[in-house]
Amino acid sequence: MKRKVKKSGSKKFKKKSLIWAIIFGVVLVGGSITAFATMGQNNSPKNPENPEQLISTLLQPIVQNASALGTSKTNVTLVEFGDYQCQYCARFHRETKDQIINNFVNTGMINFLFKDFVINDRPSDKLSTLAAIGSYCAAEQGKYWPYHDEVYRNSKGENTDWVSKNSLTQFAVYAGVTDVNKFSACLDSKKYENLVVTNDNLARSIGLTSTPTFIIIAEGKTPLKIEGAQPYSVFEGAIKQVITQIPS
């Protein structure tokens, strides 16, 4: 239940991917709850390349108005790496995201943050990137999350031509963006394209290979990675496991 990205042949990329694959405590694929037994073990390399800086980068929103959902009082964050054309990302948003928001974010237990991992771009149009640019154009008018949800609500799969400037502008209107001309000009300028690339490079640099991929980050704990549009029970079990390991 995930979309794979093409592998890179770069030796440097492979080295960094290996380092951060080791740092992730557990990889959950298929919803195996038994995997939680190893989460507390410290299996990080002795000298990883700036792990604190990487964690800090993972927790930072790409722009100010695209901040995480939640409260600053918690030090547990669920970070999703996704592509707006990814059908499994859309499934997560239809079937699971609202339960996580209602039960864990709105109750102050975790934060929820989204970062772009544009694995469905075609060289001829780069529509996943365009949809992501639109999210930051919407953020300029305080509508990042409503736009984000609206795009996924209208998802029609990978490269089926449902993403266009006209459709993204309409989604922005549905999301409450009031200055349509400003949004349209922002989209045309592609002023946020480099920021989308930054997010995408971050995902690849830590060895992510599919969307959606989720990372649970808690202060002082080994990050936990969950791959795919897993059922709510998998997220619930993982989040509760992380929270119970945090000292009061």
Report the 10 Å Cβ neighbour count for 6.
7
The CATH code of domain 3-244 reads 3.40.30.10
Whole-prediction pTM? 0.83
Provide CB contacts within 8 A for 8, sequence distance 6+: 14, 204
Residue-wise pLDDT for 64-102, tens only, equals: 899 999 988 899 999 999 999 999 999 999 999 999 999
The β-bridge partners of 76 are: 218
Residue-wise pLDDT for 117-135, tens only, equals: 999 999 999 999 999 999 9
Provide CB contacts within 8 A for 152, sequence distance 6+: 84, 89, 90, 93, 94
Phi, psi (rounded to 5 degrees) for 164: -155, 170
Query: How many angstroms separate the CA atoms of 135 and 163, rounded?
Result: 13
Residue-wise pLDDT for 163-201, tens only, equals: 999 999 999 999 999 999 999 999 999 999 999 999 999
Which sequence spans correspond to the domains of the chain?
A: 3-244
